[in-house]
Structure 1
């Protein structure tokens, strides 16, 4: 090894040791600020003494080993709080300026996600209820349907056509029949069928998905609040939060598959269960695992069929 390489290695080791001393003091200050924690005087004295020697560039290998031992004992004492979680939650002051910690940025981001999801849910819910109300007013209309319609029915029908026009992105229902009084009933029924099909899709797929996503977002915000208070949040946890949102959407859709109430019947239970499934996906997947295990046991316990002998 050349002199330059040895110098670089020594400089790198010096930086690592300085960082370890800074982290040790950070943990020590955390313990000092929390009255429910106590620390051994030996650990506090060891960290302070060795840190001072490092600052004065007057340390030895024995000091480095002793600092590592003190750091290990202190880290075990305050776990699950770690140096990473403290830095992620507590604001850092650099050159007199206070920077925003990672936890604050994450909370702000997921708060925006939650507000946007809630507003989108309200828009879809209102659009759904408006179309459902129009459809329910037109469904009892007696057959055969001929033009002209009564004024109140005609108003509902025109509004339903505009409602279909919106979710069809500016398209209208085109039928290969002449638009005369004789065939008016076909156009009337086609618009009702289209509206009914779209309402069923909203109720079975889109709304449960959004409710599941909202439940997952609220769980993430609640978990973030608890972790910030206990100083256990770390940046690596955000990967789990993103996966949680995806699983929340899937959990909401799964409840939509299993629970299909009558069209338009917005009972509390199906959508509430979609929300709860997104909030607590562990319960849903635990039930699915039990169901699969039960089916597997039944399959294994079924005796094989023996063909009759000839």
Structure 2
């Protein structure tokens, strides 16, 4: 009898041994934390497998019966799996679990994304205010200059207008200096050379030669130098204004929506990560899915303005583009639904166009 048992005994592979150990952990999970009641027969099979493995009394029938029972046990605890239990449980040396590492990583980089967003948003608002005020002050100074030319030099109104003109000019210079500092962040510390265009430079040279031939006095030469300096200053002013306007458009159209979409995606990931940890369903696949979600959220926040106009939907009419970017990053599935609707409309339009062409060809053939 003993020889027969020894003959029927088979060597247990490492894979089966691991499955037996997993079965013990699943039974312990169901007994301790599971929401599903533990079947006594399944528990008995898992326990018997452990002791049979220790006593080396394992045969093919035991293995088949155990695998069938393990399959039933895995279905009973689904969506919880051994992979999710390992990902959430700490190891024997008390190192942080995979879930704890994921929470720390996403929490840290959510804070980084938030800080970057706040920095870019404040930088954008500051630059937008400077560019807007500078344009208004430049136009206002020109208006006061026209009023100044229309008044008598010694009149009371002339002095008042001159005082206001100088005040506006000082405010203009202050805004201009701040705008140049704002531009240096993107210029990496460089500044515009502001070379005078060849035609304008040649006009100044011709005027200078004319004054020299006429042996003009020092005042005329000084006025020419002032005109050249004023022209250079205006070129620098317009270059800085145009550059600032271009940067503001890039920030508003691309950088800020991308950051808002990324922040929305981070918040979704943290919320879903908390849900999966509570339900003990977090696995390595979840980590991959979350990383892809961040990429899709950032891109969704940036490109939503290409496909949707908030005025077209009554529910979104009150939302700003940045709020839409944040929502698309939080729920990128909405963006996919919008894109599918656009594709369906294009297909319908193409089908209708092909149908009308076919009818026209058929009509001409009958004629």
Which TM-score bucket, shorter chain as reference? 0.7 to 0.9
Counterpart of 1:42 in structure 2 is: 41
Deviation at residue 268 of structure 1 after TM alignment: 5.4
SS in 1 for 2:65: helix
Counterpart of 1:5 in structure 2 is: none
Deviation at residue 245 of structure 1 after TM alignment: 1.3
Length, aligned pairs only: 292
Task: Establish whether residue 123 from structure 1 lines up as the match of residue 172 from structure 2.
Answer: no
Counterpart of 1:174 in structure 2 is: 193
**CA RMSD between the two structures:** 2.5
Deviation at residue 292 of structure 1 after TM alignment: 0.8
Counterpart of 1:301 in structure 2 is: 352
Q: What is the alpha-carbon distance in structure 1 between the residues aligned to residue 235 and residue 251 of structure 2?
A: 24
Deviation at residue 182 of structure 1 after TM alignment: 4.2
Counterpart of 1:89 in structure 2 is: 88
Give 1 or 2: higher helix fraction.
2
Q: TM-score, normalised by structure 1?
A: 0.87
SS in 1 for 2:126: helix
Gaps of at least 5 residues in structure 1 are 1-9, 262-266
Distance 1:259 1:49, change over 3 A: closer
Q: What is the alpha-carbon distance in structure 1 between the residues aligned to residue 296 and residue 346 of structure 2?
A: 23
Retained in 2: the 8 A contact 1:117–1:210? yes
Retained in 2: the 8 A contact 1:88–1:101? yes
Counterpart of 1:280 in structure 2 is: 331
Post-superposition Cα deviations, 1:185-225, rounded to whole Å, max 9, x if no partner, equal 33222211211111011000100011111111111111111
Moved over 3 A (4+): 143-149, 256-261, 305-310
Distance 1:84 1:182, change over 3 A: closer
Gaps of at least 5 residues in structure 2 are 1-9, 146-164, 202-227, 311-317
Retained in 2: the 8 A contact 1:213–1:275? yes
Retained in 1: the 8 A contact 2:195–2:232? no
SS in 1 for 2:229: coil
Q: What is the alpha-carbon distance in structure 1 between the residues aligned to residue 255 and residue 34 of structure 2?
A: 50
SS in 1 for 2:320: helix
SS in 2 for 1:105: helix
Distance 1:283 1:237, change over 3 A: same
Q: What is the alpha-carbon distance in structure 1 between the residues aligned to residue 259 and residue 73 of structure 2?
A: 45
Describe how 1:139-158 pairs up with structure 2 within 5 A. 139-141=135-137, 142=139, 144=142, 150-158=169-177
Post-superposition Cα deviations, 1:78-126, rounded to whole Å, max 9, x if no partner, equal 1111111111112122xxx223211111111111211111111111111
Retained in 2: the 8 A contact 1:213–1:278? yes
Retained in 2: the 8 A contact 1:204–1:257? no
